[in-house]
Amino acid sequence: MTSGRIIKNFNGYYYVETAEKELVTCKIKGKMKKERFSVVTGDMVEFEKNPDGESMLTAVLPRRNFLERPAMANLDCVVIAFACCDPDFSFLLADKMLAFAERAGIEAVLCLNKTDLVSEEDVEKIAGVYKLAGYRVFAVSTFKGTGLDRLKEYLNGKISAFAGPSGVGKSSMLNALQPGISLQTGHISEKIGRGRHTTRFAQLLPFNGGYLADTPGFGNLLAENIDERELYKYFREFKQFEHNCKFAPCTHTHEPVCGVKQAVQEGKIAASRYQSYLAILDEIKLLKEKSGKR
Ligand SMILES: Nc1nc2c(ncn2[C@@H]2O[C@H](COP(=O)(O)OP(=O)(O)OP(=O)(O)O)[C@@H](O)[C@H]2O)c(=O)[nH]1
Ligand SMILES: [Zn+2]
């Protein structure tokens, strides 16, 4: 029995890298498939090597953590990647992604690309919100090559996934961090129309003693499988103000005496973060109603 890490999972094939850096292409055993066993990029697995035919995955080892969107396991960090504009920054989408990372118990940082397109004040309008919430923020421009050294240093030795909407520059950032990274392990993107490339599946690429993962961009993210009673926990800066809430637990919505709402009024919690909290709560309720009707 040999073990390794799934670095890519595509078209029913699992690409496993062993500790000796050997790459073995595996298929999944019918029995595991029937049990609807989930195997994702980043998983540590055991496999049976077959020199004459297809090697087979036999087990998925216990996960350190699991991120639902994009589906990946055993991460040290999620780099939530956005552009300052083109496409416009979405506070709601960023807050949802942060909530998913918080729920998975994975450290998240925000990376703001395309700072060359906006003023410093505009970068700070976004960055300030997340610094106030206690997140590390990296403002970069792959065009100007700024901000990348600090990000590189932070990522050293970590297994990190770049996740974010389409077109924010995830692939560009990976290439700026390590020129040619996408060529190292073969092509990871596919040409779509007018010479544009888009990433089709998550892939871990070796980087300074760790790995970086490029992941497919997405348009929207549904607040699926989030418990409305737990959501407040995924807004990490709320916690320090909860001792001022009259009720425990407090939903921080209709309660008249609420430390979180008070902190929003005093500017200690960013208004946009609180708005996202309310919007995600509404979405969870709506999803629940819909599934109840089915
Ligand atoms: N102005 C500006 N444009 C950039 C910068 N970085 C990337 N871009 C452009 O943004 C577009 C999208 O870049 P990609 O790296 O393909 O974005 P992506 O996030 O990997 O996109 P998907 O694979 O579709 O998810 C390209 O046209 C890049 O040239 C930057 O720092 N400044
Ligand atoms: Zn409250």
Q: Which CATH number applies to 2-60: 3.50.50.60, 1.10.3720.10, 1.10.10.10, 2.40.50.140?
A: 2.40.50.140
pLDDT digits (tens, 9 = 90+) for 32-53: 766 666 899 999 999 999 888 8
Ligand lying closest to the C-alpha of residue 248: 2
The single-letter code of the amino acid at 100 is: F
pLDDT digits (tens, 9 = 90+) for 114-149: 999 999 999 999 999 999 999 999 999 999 999 999
Q: What are phi and psi of 7, to 5 degrees?
A: -105, -10
The single-letter code of the amino acid at 82 is: F
Residues counted in the chain: 294
Q: Is the CB of 276 under 6 A from ligand 1?
A: no
> Strand 66-67 vs strand 196-199: parallel, antiparallel, or unpaired?
unpaired
DSSP code of 69?
T
In this structure, what token pair is assigned to residue 17?
Answer: 């890298």
Residue nearest to atom 12 of ligand 1 (CA): 167
Residue nearest to atom 4 of ligand 1 (CA): 114
- The answer to whether the CB of 80 falls within 8 A of the CB of 66 is no
Taking CB atoms within 8 Å and a gap of at least 24, the contacts of 180-185 are 181/205, 181/207, 181/212, 182/214, 185/7, 185/8
3-class DSSP string for 104-172? HCCEEEEEEECHHHCCHHHHHHHHHHHHHCCCCEEECECCCCECHHHHHHHHCCCEEEEECECCCCHHH
Asked if CATH classification 1.10.40.50 holds for the domain at 231-293, the reply, yes or no, is: yes
pLDDT digits (tens, 9 = 90+) for 262-277: 999 999 999 999 999 9
Q: Which CATH number applies to 66-214: 3.40.50.300, 2.60.200.20, 2.40.128.20, 3.10.20.340?
A: 3.40.50.300
- Cβ neighbours, 10 Å, residue 84: 23
Q: Is the CB of 165 under 6 A from ligand 1?
A: no
- The answer to whether the CB of 36 falls within 8 A of the CB of 119 is no
Task: State the distance from the centre of ligand 2 to the C-alpha of 91, rounded, in angstroms.
Answer: 22
Residue nearest to atom 17 of ligand 1 (CA): 169
Q: Is the CB of 113 under 6 A from ligand 1?
A: yes
Task: State the distance from the centre of ligand 2 to the C-alpha of 256, rounded, in angstroms.
Answer: 8
Per-residue pLDDT of the chain (294 residues; tens, 9 = 90+): 799 999 998 888 999 999 999 999 999 877 676 666 689 999 999 999 988 888 999 999 999 999 988 899 999 999 999 999 999 999 999 999 999 999 999 999 999 999 999 999 999 999 999 999 999 999 999 999 999 999 999 999 999 999 999 889 998 999 999 887 765 443 444 444 444 556 677 889 999 989 999 888 877 888 888 899 999 999 999 999 999 999 989 999 999 999 999 999 999 999 999 999 999 999 999 998 888 866
Q: How far is C-alpha 141 from the chain's CA centre?
A: 20
Q: What are phi and psi of 96, to 5 degrees?
A: -65, -45
Domain boundaries, the chain: 2-60, 66-214, 231-293
